Amino acid sequence: MNKLNKRSWCFLWLTSAALFGLPVVQATVADGPFSTSDLKRFVADSVPFLEWAKTGAPNQLIEHLAENPNSVAQFPEAVRFLRDRGWEPERFAYVLSHVLVAYKMLGMGGNSSRLLEKLAETKVAVEGDPSQTEAQKARTLAVVEECQRDVRETEKAFATLPPEEVRLLWLYRAELRQALDGRLPISERVLPNPTVKKKR
């Protein structure tokens, strides 16, 4: 991969991360991990919700729900939309926020360690690039370092997901991909199977 492509990749990664801010995963004990029925309902209802969010929803609705699912109460249109479909809005937002964490991991190909290695290689390449001015290098390195921070934050958020949710996300990966493909700015990847032990 040449330097331009690496820089473009980092920019696209950062843009995607900024658009879909990392969910904070602020669940209360009352929320509890989502169940199979929750996820099946989410798969069915996420399509009309995300399509509506593209055109008729308040500005940055998905970003707000990703950062704090409980903020759904601040958006009466979203509350009405979800209640019309039989959801408690906070529950839908909770499932959405956790699905988005998983899909950020999908965007990293399920291998965040390798991605961090590539970003470190990109930093070395930029620092040694004689065709760039110091100011250009500083701007590019700032983007790469932001990418690195985002990857580490995504790893931490994914690690906080309840194991039973990760298992369900794996089991329903095909259905989720069909529902969300083209509706989230995160590239399609293979979700790692949580039942397979990593080699040491």
The per-residue pLDDT for 4 is: 42
Mean pLDDT of 38-51: 94
The per-residue pLDDT for 7 is: 43
Name every residue whose Cβ is closer than 8 Å to that of residue 159 and which is 6 or more positions away in sequence: none
Name which of 20-24, 38-42, 194-198 the model is least confident about.
20-24
DSSP string, 115-135: HHHHHHHHHHHHHT-TTS-HH
Q: What angle do CA 180, 184, 189 make, to 5 degrees?
A: 70
| 153/8: higher pLDDT | 153
Domain ranges of the chain: 3-180
The per-residue pLDDT for 80 is: 94
Torsion of CA 50, 158, 17, 110, to 10 degrees: -100
Asked whether the predicted pLDDT for residue 173 surpasses 60, the reply is yes
Per-residue pLDDT tens for 113-160? 888 888 888 889 889 999 989 999 999 898 888 888 888 888 888 899
Q: pLDDT-derived band of residue 86, with 50, 70 and 90 as boundaries?
A: very high
Helix and strand element counts for the chain (H, E)? 9, 0
CA 12 to chain centre: 14
